[in-house]
Structure 1
Amino acid sequence: MDLTGKVAVVTGSGRGLGRAYAEALAAAGAAVVVNDIDAEAAAEVVKGITAAGGRAVEVVAPVGGSDVAAQLVRTAVGEFGRLDTMVTNAGILRDRVLWKMTDEDFDAVINVHLRGTFTCARAAAIQMRVQDTGGRLILISSPAGQRGNFGQTNYAAAKAGIVAMARTWAMELAKAQIAVNAVVPVAATEMTKTIPAFAGAIEQSERDGTPLPDWLRKDEGLGTVEDVASLIVFLASDAANGITGQAIGIGGDKLSLWSHPREKAFAYADGGWSADAIASTWDTGVGAEPETYGIPAPKV
């Protein structure tokens, strides 16, 4: 993929998946605005990109508010002349079960993930519409947002909302030729290391370079952050023209397309449904095959 001449912003790109996205976009030729709250981490990413012959600058600021979103877009345009791709990756975790989650836990995660995606995407869309040359909004979601996950009320809600925004914005921005897609990544990161079934294989791979086993890369669809970055490059490229409104999963050896919610089963009753009528038919009718919920346990 050749992204020469294109300019991208990647939020939360000082480490982990965000760093892999920024480095992959730069390696493909794009100029990149690196964003993180850790000044040292952001500077290290920029240094690595420029040392490899790429172009990058950092913006050290917390994603969430409109002012930072505007700053990111302003930096892209001021330093590199335009903005073609906005990757909304920044995020934090405040995991608690429902009865222990505080208002502060909930609000902090929603502010960075959901509001931060909104403000950054809005600022990018305004600039892309002015340029009148199209663009890409690549919104980072999670399996937790698609299926739910224990202890992640705030995170799952935000990530589900991000996919809903992608579908909505794909409609709203189609006339301006701005494609909007959600990415559902699974990779070996600091967060996935905390999952007992994954920890041993990930730690061994980091320690001595042992490849992740097939059951992780295929069955679980979990690999390196670099495995995920290739999808970001593809979606930022001209090869992805016409792809919009999708939730696309990637991890390890697995690439997937997530389905949109839809009516799975339905039934009709003349004059409407009473509570008794619903109860008498539920198990053999609409509710005969209930949906699963939660991220499936690892197959080990």
Structure 2
Amino acid sequence: MSLHAAPLAGKVAIVTGSGRGLGFAYAAELARRGASVVINDVDAATADAAVAAIVADGGTAVAVIAPVGPTETAQQLVAAAVESFGRLDILVTNAGVLRDTVLWKMSDDDFDTVINVHLRGTFTCTREAVTYMRDNGIRGRIIAIGSPTGQRGNFGQTNYAAAKAGIVGMVRTWALELKRAGITANAVIPVAATAMTATVPYFAAAVEADAKGEAMPAFFRHDLGFGTSDDVAGLIAYLASDAAADVTGQAIGVGGDRLQLWSHPEPVVTAYRDGGWTYDALQESFGGELGGALETVGEQFPPLPADLQRPPA
């Protein structure tokens, strides 16, 4: 812990989806740094255990048991922060669900459920939070959780990719709209051992090490930027602090030993043609300069070192 051990003293945070996993790591770190925290989960026992763990560590927390997405939940969360702790300074929108399947098998419910929790939930909670912050002159912090899938796409995750890409788009817009009020809005792109990555054979050696309480191999932490939930939590606390008052509208990746500032989408090639672009001109260009500059899709992982490979299950 640094000399500035409690930079969030007197501040109040809401962390959605914080009963376990990454969300709990964020909430626990905010509490360690001095913030009072509203825990949120759909399961009462999970939320109560999270609150108990934070209190046992010397922090302050209360729980709201409700599904993220509806406006009523957003209102309940903000009300709990104000009624329990007197104010609201920080919102971390972490709640999420997965309904993975390929496009042609994805049902309306698969799509709508993921969009409702991730994208609509981020919108409704942020709208409620910033309304309170603006009305009360609080120079607050909005931290929305994105994903590499939203930046690059991932097989079987149409719904999740759409939601996470949309979150980053909203954050960029909010940074513009909230600047005058002194409220920052940023997206964090975490890469960490979770229930989802535990099912991916490529990460098996890292997940096994984490489960045993051992350090992950350097290949994962350094080369891939893949680490633990706690490796992400420090960035959450920093962005929530007064020290980050000038950081807004950013998509910031973090995992293991790696930190990344993601660029806003920019053209990789710009070409001009007098008279415009005909079919024949496009065919010629995509067979040449433009074709050689096409972007990749999906995450591009290097081969695993031999000592980290695991035999097929």
Is this contact kept in 2: 1:197–1:298, CA < 8 A? no
Counterpart for residue 255 of structure 2: 251
Is this contact kept in 2: 1:139–1:182, CA < 8 A? yes
**Offset at 1:201?**
3.0
Which string of whole-angstrom CA distances, capped at 9 and with x for unpartnered residues, describes residues 192-234 of structure 1?
1111011233124313x22100001011111110010000000
**Offset at 1:298?**
4.8
Which one of 15, 19, 30 corresponds to residue 10 of structure 1?
A: 15
Q: Distance in 1 between matches of 2:27 and 2:96?
A: 15
What is the Cα-based RMSD across aligned positions, in Å? 1.0
Residue 96 (structure 1) aligned with residue 96 (structure 2)? no
Q: Distance in 2 between matches of 1:199 and 1:100?
A: 28
Is this contact kept in 1: 2:126–2:142, CA < 8 A? yes
Which one of 297, 300, 303 corresponds to residue 296 of structure 1?
A: 300
Counterpart for residue 267 of structure 1: 271
**Offset at 1:166?**
0.4
Which one of 33, 43, 47 corresponds to residue 52 of structure 2?
A: 47
Q: Distance in 2 between matches of 1:159 and 1:147?
A: 10
1:20-169 aligned within 5 A: 20-169=25-174
Q: Distance in 2 between matches of 1:299 and 1:213?
A: 14
> Residue 210 of structure 2: SS of its match in structure 1?
helix
Is this contact kept in 1: 2:268–2:293, CA < 8 A? no
Counterpart for residue 311 of structure 2: none
Unpaired runs of 5+ in structure 2? 305-313
Counterpart for residue 280 of structure 1: 284
What is the TM-score normalised by the length of structure 2? 0.93
Is this contact kept in 1: 2:210–2:228, CA < 8 A? no
Q: Distance in 1 between matches of 2:205 and 2:257?
A: 19
Q: Distance in 2 between matches of 1:141 and 1:220?
A: 17
**Offset at 1:172?**
0.5
**Offset at 1:181?**
0.2
Q: Distance in 1 between matches of 2:170 and 2:82?
A: 25
What is the TM-score normalised by the length of structure 1? 0.97
Is this contact kept in 2: 1:64–1:119, CA < 8 A? yes
Is this contact kept in 1: 2:150–2:164, CA < 8 A? yes
Is this contact kept in 2: 1:9–1:34, CA < 8 A? yes
**Offset at 1:110?**
0.3
Q: Which amino acid aligns with 1:273?
A: W
> Residue 292 of structure 2: SS of its match in structure 1?
coil
> Residue 288 of structure 1: SS of its match in structure 2?
helix
Q: Distance in 2 between matches of 1:80 and 1:50?
A: 15
Unpaired runs of 5+ in structure 1? none
Q: Distance in 2 between matches of 1:169 and 1:3?
A: 23
> Residue 40 of structure 2: SS of its match in structure 1?
strand
Is this contact kept in 2: 1:205–1:211, CA < 8 A? yes
Higher mean alpha-carbon deviation, 3-12 vs 279-288, is at: 279-288
Counterpart for residue 201 of structure 2: 196
**Offset at 1:285?**
2.8
> Residue 233 of structure 2: SS of its match in structure 1?
helix
Counterpart for residue 307 of structure 2: none
Q: Which amino acid aligns with 2:116?
A: N
> Residue 133 of structure 1: SS of its match in structure 2?
coil
Counterpart for residue 215 of structure 2: 211
Is this contact kept in 2: 1:91–1:112, CA < 8 A? yes
Is this contact kept in 1: 2:64–2:77, CA < 8 A? yes
Q: Distance in 2 between matches of 1:268 and 1:285?
A: 12
Counterpart for residue 170 of structure 1: 175
Note closer, same or farther for the CA distance 1:168–1:203 as it changes in structure 2 (3 Å cut).
same
Q: Distance in 2 between matches of 1:26 and 1:272?
A: 58
Which string of whole-angstrom CA distances, capped at 9 and with x for unpartnered residues, describes residues 113-166 of structure 1?
000000001001101101112100000000000000011000011000000000
**Offset at 1:241?**
1.1
Counterpart for residue 244 of structure 2: 240
